[in-house]
Structure 1
Amino acid sequence: MMATSKRGTWATIRRIAASDRISGLIMLGFALAGLLLANLPFTAHAFEQLENFRIAIPHTNIDMGLGHWVQDGLLTVFFLTVGLELKQELTTGSLSNPK
């Protein structure tokens, strides 16, 4: 009984992840929720404290706030994704033919 439930759950998750529309709507919903929570007076202070939370790597000089870690990480993932998409389009996609 439990294996069937897990299999059904994973199938649903795979279907949602494969759907561009559903996954885009989920991402948009989380972005809107983040914007709303960051700008409400009673939650903005918590976001500021979380942003300034320091994370350091021992035995290095890397010591940054969580906001900097998120910015650097998200920019890295963004440009990696853009580069991979561009490579795919140039090799097998619509940009592979000069015409």
Structure 2
Amino acid sequence: MLSLKISIIILSICVFKSWSLPCYTCTDCNNLTTTVPTNVTVIDCLGPDAQCSTNVFKVGSTDFVTKSCTNFCSPSFYQFPNMNAVFVSTCCQQPLCNE
């Protein structure tokens, strides 16, 4: 029950920090495909000590977006408004505390 409350608090922080958009957890990112604005280069979503970075690159007429996530003992959340781009994500978690 405590972990649920902590998750809700982290989600609230994240949603606030990411312009009130819905968020995904870092663990979802390996299977996540969505669309993002092509002018976005880096997005940080700040749960406690968590950071998500996003980079956009173009191949032909397709915009690809790669997302990396570093997670220190808490989930990292993110989502972007829909645009014409392909979202390709990889997630690397690095817990640094005893749970």
TM superposition score normalised by structure 2: 0.27
Question: Where is the strand percentage greater, Structure 1 or Structure 2?
Answer: 2
Question: Where is the helix percentage greater, Structure 1 or Structure 2?
Answer: 1
TM superposition score normalised by structure 1: 0.27
